[in-house]
Amino acid sequence: MDNKKPNITALIVAAGQGERFGGSLPKQYLPLLGRPVFMWSVEAFRNHPAISDVRVVIHPDHAGLSGIENPVIGGATRQESVLKGLEAIAPSNPDYVLIHDAARPGITPELINGIIEALKTKEAAIPGLPVADTLRRSVDGTTKTESRDNLFAIQTPQGFKFKTIYDLHQKHKGQSFTDDAALCEAAGIPVTIVSGDKGNFKLTVPEDFAFMEQTLAFRCGDVRTGQGYDVHRLVTPANDLHKLKLCGITVPHDKSLEGHSDADVALHALTDALLATICDGDIGVHFSPKDARWKNADSAKFLKHAGELIAAQGGLITHVDVTIICEAPKIGPHRDKMRESIAGILSLPVSRVSVKATTTEGLGFTGRGEGIAAEAVATVRLPFTKTQGATKDDIRKWGT
């Protein structure tokens, strides 16, 4: 691999029908801990700093299911789907490509690192696990032990120089190979095995699903709760710029909120709640009210950033809950739009977003209509690995 940062594209093949898995929804689109199976792989690559681009190959009948922008349409076999994917990324001519099965949502940043590291010196790198079980082959009505010496069970992502694997897939178009590394082998190119991960198994039959749920739930088992609170003053709007914004939508009202940004008090409280789950300060630390860049800024940007910081740690937002405290305007008629708006900004299903409101019975500054307050609570699951780097201070505290 060159010294300059190489251009590495991830190609995720998701164009299968999942026949062995069965069910009405193809396995790669099933919700797995609140996120479709294939999105676990998409997110793992998107959040990896060494990956420049992520492309997903889908079945032509599944366009409505994937919701992916700019998908590549696959073919009748996995090999055809990979070729279609390589053709689609050819114009950007990446240095390397990592080809991954969407049916392996248990991919980790460490696995991606391992492949990229190996590609610095090797032509082709694939993850594998030494076979641990005794192997027997059935022959003529009986069975016979096979040696498992030096045998590995192979996974994806499989990493190659882009040009090498693209040429090979074009050359062997229509022939049948068991995986992408097999094409290198046929061309006499050595294939290196790096350490695979037991949790990166392929969802093949329905029983695999519960194991995968347990694997991922345990990995992201560090459940955090964050809380946020904010208040902005209600004023008579000076101009059109200052419409009342709540939860990212404009709410018709004769007053608007005063602030440096668009003063969306609900999104500010929620941004703080999310930042709290990763102990990363508050909205003012990330977006200073003194910074001219955030003058009249759309607060959706702040919320999105908090969501991205959590994703970068491999975290998952499980649930968010916002309470808006005011006498007017009435929130009820806008509640569904507000939930959709937050869900859109954080790429969450609407079913994980709660918005509610209360008055304070005419009491206090909210009761007098001088301002609007908002409270938010966020629940996030983080991988345990991110919290294992305990300092001596932490250990001392835990020990007492």
Binding positions for ligand CTP, rule: CB under 6 A: 13-21, 28, 57, 74-78, 81, 101-103, 202, 204
Q: How far is the CB of 27 from ligand CTP (least distance, A)?
A: 7
Neighbours of 390 (CB within 10 A): 11
* Nearest one of 396, 397, 380, 385 to 346, comparing CA atoms: 380
Residue type, 128: G
Site for Mg ion (CB under 5 A): how many residues?
Answer: 1
Window of 10-18, 26-34, 104-112, 250-258 that interacts with Mg ion by CB under 5 A: 10-18
Comparing CB distances to ligand CTP, the nearer of 16 and 196 is 16
37 binding partner (options Mg ion, ligand CTP, none; Cβ < 5 to 8 Å by kind): none
Q: How far is the CB of 7 from ligand CTP (least distance, A)?
A: 23
Comparing CB distances to ligand CTP, the nearer of 103 and 244 is 103
* Nearest one of 222, 346, 217, 224 to 277, comparing CA atoms: 224
Cα atoms in the Cβ-side hemisphere of radius 13 Å centred on 297: 20
Q: How far is the CB of 114 from ligand CTP (least distance, A)?
A: 20
Buried b (16+ CB within 10 A) or exposed e, 84-108: bbbebbeeeebbbbbbbbbbbbbbb
Comparing CB distances to Mg ion, the nearer of 21 and 294 is 21
Cα–Cα distance for residue pair 389/204, rounded to 1 Å:
35
42 binding partner (options ligand CTP, Mg ion, none; Cβ < 5 to 8 Å by kind): none
Comparing CB distances to Mg ion, the nearer of 203 and 257 is 203
18 binding partner (options Mg ion, ligand CTP, none; Cβ < 5 to 8 Å by kind): ligand CTP
325 binding partner (options ligand CTP, Mg ion, none; Cβ < 5 to 8 Å by kind): none
Residue 333 to residues 48, 245, 262, 321, 356, Cα–Cα distance (Å): 40, 15, 21, 17, 11
Comparing CB distances to ligand CTP, the nearer of 5 and 20 is 20
244 binding partner (options Mg ion, ligand CTP, none; Cβ < 5 to 8 Å by kind): none
Comparing CB distances to Mg ion, the nearer of 75 and 109 is 75
Q: How far is the CB of 175 from Mg ion (least distance, A)?
A: 16
Number of residue whose CB is nearest ligand CTP = 16
Q: How far is the CB of 136 from Mg ion (least distance, A)?
A: 25
Comparing CB distances to ligand CTP, the nearer of 19 and 149 is 19
165-224 positions binding Mg ion, by CB under 5 A: none
Q: How far is the CB of 75 from ligand CTP (least distance, A)?
A: 6
Q: How far is the CB of 14 from ligand CTP (least distance, A)?
A: 5
Confirm if 123 and 160 have CB atoms less than 8 A apart.
Answer: yes
Number of residue whose CB is nearest Mg ion = 16
Comparing CB distances to ligand CTP, the nearer of 76 and 350 is 76
11-40 positions binding Mg ion, by CB under 5 A: 16
Q: How far is the CB of 99 from ligand CTP (least distance, A)?
A: 10
28 binding partner (options Mg ion, ligand CTP, none; Cβ < 5 to 8 Å by kind): ligand CTP
171 binding partner (options ligand CTP, Mg ion, none; Cβ < 5 to 8 Å by kind): none
Comparing CB distances to Mg ion, the nearer of 20 and 136 is 20
Q: How far is the CB of 25 from Mg ion (least distance, A)?
A: 16
Confirm if 85 and 77 have CB atoms less than 8 A apart.
Answer: no
Applying CB under 5 A, which residues contact Mg ion?
Answer: 16
